[in-house]
Amino acid sequence: MSNSQPSINKNLLILHFTVFIWGFTGILGALISINAVQMVWYRVMIAGITLFAYFLFTKTSLRISKKQFLQFFFTGGIVALHWILFFHAIKVSTVSVTLVCLSSFTLFTAILEPLIKKQRILIPDVLIGLVIILGIYLIFKFESQYTLGIIFGLTSALASSLFATINSTLVQKSDPKIIGFYEITGAFIWITGYRFLDHDLMNETFNLSLKDWIYLGVLGTICTALAYVAGVSVMRTLSAFRVALITNLEPVYGILLAFIFFGTKEAMSAGFYIGTALILGAVFLYPIYKKRKNLQ
């Protein structure tokens, strides 16, 4: 147990850094002028090219089995759905509202992880999820003008929880970088197919502003290729639920960054901050509770 502790601590540090980067993606989503589907299409294309270039440079083999390819490909579809819903939620509400809604990730993971891994559902995990629901209810109640954004944000959290739980199983048998590459490539194929059927792809001109290209470059390389692989890799030593708890810090980082970038536009009602305090209080106090009860 003690031999694995340095590895766990290292992965916790990596995860906190990754979550900070994820918090910054909300800022980029608000700054980039194109719609959510188009934005994610560019995002995964840039990320896929970045990872492929890395594999060429390091002469890493991309060979996987047919079963692995299908697993990664279909999980990539869930990843694409999560990102599209996430950015659309930002477009119809605010960065702060969307990021706080992602905290329901913990509740969904508390239910999905035991089901997928055929483990028993821990009552404390569900209770912490219910506290988060109460926080989200308060946000719904006091920020009703953002109802559509909240719904998209919650659905995005469900998709995020699903692919994170799946990846926590896949990463035990496969290289995180390989998983990241094929899932991102799968996301690109799924979105390309959707844009083709929607006839949107036919009108793609690649004629974006310089600012959009710069923001998309950062989003695709640092916030996707690097952060995605890092986020998957830590799951070798951290449970999906523990990852979910730390991921709930994303709203903290994101809301602080939103105030820095957008100022009063991100100001909310008192009810919003009470709901946010409930959610974040659960995030900070629950790991302490689990450690004392020897549940983690």
For residues 284, 287, 290, 292, the Cα torsion angle rounded to the nearest 10 degrees is: -80
What b/e sequence results for 16-29 when a residue is b if at least 16 CB atoms lie within 10 Å of its CB, and e otherwise?
A: eebbbbbbbbbbbb
| pLDDT score for 1 | 42
What is the per-residue pLDDT for 291?
63
**CA dist., res. 291 & res. 296, Å (int):** 6
pLDDT at 294: 59
Q: Quick one: pLDDT at residue 293?
A: 64
Rounded to whole angstroms, how far apart are CA atoms 250 and 21?
Answer: 8
Average pLDDT score, the chain: 85
Contact 177, 60 (CB under 8 A): yes
Rounded to an integer, what distance in angstroms lies between the CA atom of residue 198 and that of residue 12? Answer: 41
- If one counts every other C-beta atom within 10 angstroms of the C-beta of residue 252, the result is 20
Q: Give the pLDDT score at 99.
A: 83
State the DSSP code for 120. P
Put simply, whether the predicted model's pTM sits higher than 0.85 gets the answer no
| pLDDT tens-place values along the chain, 296 residues long | 444 666 777 888 888 888 889 888 989 999 999 999 999 999 999 999 999 999 999 898 999 999 999 999 999 999 999 999 999 999 998 888 888 888 777 778 777 878 877 777 777 777 877 887 788 778 777 777 888 998 999 999 999 989 988 988 898 888 888 999 999 999 999 999 999 999 899 888 899 999 999 999 999 999 999 888 887 788 777 876 677 667 767 777 887 888 888 877 666 777 778 887 887 777 667 666 666 665 44
The end-to-end CA distance of the chain, in Å, is 13
pLDDT tens-place string over residues 175-213 = 888 999 999 999 999 999 999 999 899 888 899 999 999
Q: CA 37, CA 192: separation in Å to the nearest integer? A: 10
- Rounded to whole angstroms, the Cα distance separating 37 from 43 reads 10
